[in-house]
Structure 1
Amino acid sequence: MTSETTTGTVEVRMYNVGFGDAFRITVKRNGSTWRMLVDCGVHSHGAARPLKESVKNIIDDLKADCGGTARLDVVVATHHHRDHIRGFAEDDWAEVEVDEVWLPFVENEDDDDAKSLREAQRRTALKLAMLIGERQQKLGAEGARANPSLAQAMAMAQNSRGNATATNRLLGRGLGFANPQHAVRYLPDIDPVKNTVRFDGCGVVAHILGPPRDAAMLKKMDPPRNAGWLTLNLDDVVDAEVDGDEPPKATERATEDGMRLFNKKYVVADTQVPRELLDARAKLDLDGLSNDMGLLAAASVLEQSVNNTSLFFVLEVGGLRLLFPGDAQYGAWESVRTDPRSLELISSVDFYKMGHHGSHNATPMSFIEKQWNNRPGDVMVPWGLVKLWKDSIPYQPLMDALTTEHHRVIKPNKNTVGDNPASDLVETEWWSQLTFKVGQ
C-alpha cells in the first residue's frame, strides 16, 4: 500500500522452514522500530532443512537487524500444533530478548472456559497416537508403510500433541528468553477493550478477532469422544510425556474399548467369555479399512479442533492491514465473519497469511470470491512438500481463485504467481519478504 506522504515501511518476511509457519513483521515508522514473530515450527515430514538451522537463521537475521542483541517486541504462538511452535524448543532462543508472548486463551491454565477443552485435546491426542501405534505394530513395518491412511493419521495425531519444551519457554516455566521475565497475554481477553492492542511508537494496532469465546463455539472446538464407531475412552489414558516424537507404547492402553462395536451395557469382561469365543474374535479381521479410516477420521477431527483454537488477528499500521488467522478452520472463520466489525477488517486487508498451508479447509472460498475482492492483495503460503499430502495441499482451486481475484500468491523457493505493484517482493533460499510503504 502506498501513500502520498510516506513515513515508514512494513516488512513481512516468511521464512522457508518447510511445511510450517515462521513469519517476522518489522515496522519502521516515526523514528521507531517494532518487531513481531508469528510462530516458529515445522512438520516433521516436511522440513526444508533441519529446524535448528532455520531457527539459527531467524535469530542471526534479528541480531544483524538489531545491531547486536536480537530483540522482539512480540512473539505470537497461534496454537499448539508442532508445526507452529516446535522451533521454540531450540536453546538459541535464550539469546533473544522478548517483551511479551501472545497465546490463545485456551492455553491459560487459570481460564475456566479453557481448562476442560485443553485437557480433552491433550488426552485425545495421546490416546489416538496409542491406538494408531497399536495398529501399526499389528501390521508390521511393511504393512504400515503400505497404509497411507494410518500414516496420515499418525502425522496428524503427533502434530496435535504439541511440544512441552517449546511451551515451557513461551510461558517462562523454567525456560525463557534472554530477559529474565516476559509478559504473557492470553487472547482474546474476556474484556473486549483489551482485544485492541496498541503500540504507540510505530502506531501499530492489533485487532484480536479469535478464537471465539462463546460457549457454542467452545463446544465445537472440544474433540468428540466418539468419531464414527471409534471410541477413544479418554478416562483410560495415563499421563505421558508429550515432548518426544515417539507415540506412546501400546502397553499404556488400559482397555480394548477403542474398537467397541456395541453399546457398553452389552459388553462383558473377557474373563466372562469362553476361550473359544475369544479365539474366534481374534481371528476376525475387523481391523481393516473401516478401522484405519476411522483412525484417520478421528485424527482429522482432532486437528480441526486444535486449529480452531488459533489466535486470529489483524495488524493495522497507517491504513495497511495484515491478516494472520493461524490455521483457523470453518467454525472459527464463521465466528469472525458473522461479526460486522470483524468482517469489515478482514475484507479490507492488503496481506493474508494463508491458513493451514493452503489446504481446502482453512480458507473459505466465499471469503476469497465474495468478501476479499475489493483490491489486489498479497498472499503468503507457508508450504513445503509433504508426500502424504502432495496432491491436496495446497488446494489448487483455492490458489486459482486467489489469482482470479488478482491477488499475488507467494510460496517458498520463488514459486510466486501474479504481481502487485503496491508492494516490493524479495525472495531468497531462506525467506520471501514483502515491503509495504505506509503513511501517517
Structure 2
Amino acid sequence: MADTPSSLPRRRTPRASPAADPTLAESSLFSANGAAVVRVKKIFAAEGSTFFVVLGTALFLTVFGLVMVLSSSSVEQYVATHDFFGAFVRQGIFAAIGVPLMLIATRAPVSFWQKYSWHFLGLALFLQLLVFTPLGVDIQGNRNWIHIGSFSAQPSEFLKLALAIWIGAILVRKQNKLADWKQVAVPLVPVVLIAVALVMRGGDLGTTLIILMEVGVAVFLAGVPLRFLVVPLIAILVMIPVVTLGGNSRTSRISAWLSGCSTAEAYQSTCWQTTHGIWALASGGVFGVGLGNSKAKWSWLPEADNDFIFAIIGEELGLIGACVVLGLFIVLAVSFFKVVRRSDDAFVRITTGAIMMWLIGQAFVNVAVVLGLLPVLGVPLPLISAGGSSLIFALLAIGVVLSFVRQSPTSSIPAAPARETVGSLR
C-alpha cells in the first residue's frame, strides 16, 4: 500500500539556535537591549538636565558638608567626648535619612503635595507647639527645639517646607479671586501670623525672617496685586525693630553690630564670634591653609561646625573654596528659577519659588552674618552646617522640586522607538 502524504512521518524542521544563526542572535540581542533601555527610561522618565543639575549639586553640597563638619568639629568633639568623629557620624546618619527621603519625594506626583498640604501644615504647627511643652529645650536663648530621649529636632525647619507647599496649594485655588484682598487674606494671613508668632515666641529671629521672605516670594509669584503687599510690608518694617529689641541678647548683638564692635567689652562678649569668624576668613587667603588645618576651630570660634562653618571653609580652602560654595548655591538658584519660568502649573511656580527663597536666601543670610554684614541671627548654611533637622528638610524640599521637574512636559524624555529586528525584514 502506497504511503499517502498524511501517513508519512512528519519531518521536523530544525529550529535555528542563536549560536548557529548569527543574524538571529543579533536580532535577539537588539530586542533584549531595546527592552532594557525602555525599562530604564521608564524608571528615569522626565529627568532632563535640570533634574540632574539640581540632584548633583544637592548631593555634592551634602558630601562636602560632611567633610567640613568633620574638619570643623573634630577638636571640640574630642575635648567633649574623646571622639573626633562624633558630630561627623551624627551628620552622616542624618544624610543617610535625608537622601533617601529626597529620592522618594521625587517620585510623588504634584497632586500628592496639593492634596496633603493641610496635613503637612497641621503636623508642622503641632510640632512647633511642642516646643512650649516640657519637651522643649532652650539653646543659647532660643526655645525652638524639642528633645525626646537622645533625639532632638527643630520643628521650624519642617514648618518652612510645610508653609511653602501649603501657600502654593491655597493660592492656586484662589487664582481667579486674587483681585479681592479679602480672598487673599483668608486663610493666608491668620495662618502665617500663627506660624510666625510661634517661632518668634521661641526667640528665633533668623527663622522668622526666612519665613517672611519665603511667604513674600510665594505671594508675589502667585500674582497678587502689589498694592495688597504695601500694608503688610509696612507692618513688618515697624514690628521688626520692636521685636528685635524685645530680647536682651538680641539687643546687645544688634547694638554691637551697629557700633562696629569698637569696644574691648564688645569684643570679649557679643562681638567675639563675628570677629573671629572674619579673622578665620582673612587668614585663609586665596588658597587656604589646607583642609583640617584651621586654627579658629581650636575653641576660638563658637559654632564652628554650625552657623559659622563658612568661616572654616574660607580659612581652610581659601577664597577659591568659598567662591565654589557660593557658585553652587547660585547654580541651585538658577535651576530653581528655570523650573519657575518654564512651568505652566501655578502650584509648581509658587512652591518652587518659596523653597528657592528659603534655601538660597538662608544661605546668603548665613554668609552675610559671617562676613559681618548682618548681626548674628543663628541660621545654618543649608546642606552644609551640622544639624539634622536642617539637612533632612532641606533635602526633602529639594526632592519636592525634583518631583516637579520630573513631571514637567519640557523635560520629558520620549520613549525610544522599538528596534526593528532582522527577522521582521521582508
| Interval of TM-score (by shorter of Structure 1 and Structure 2) | under 0.3
| TM-score when normalising by structure 1 | 0.24
**In proportion to residue count, which structure has more helix?**
2
Structure with bigger RCO (C-alpha 8 Å, 6+ apart): 2
| TM-score when normalising by structure 2 | 0.25
Q: Which has the larger radius of gyration?
A: 2
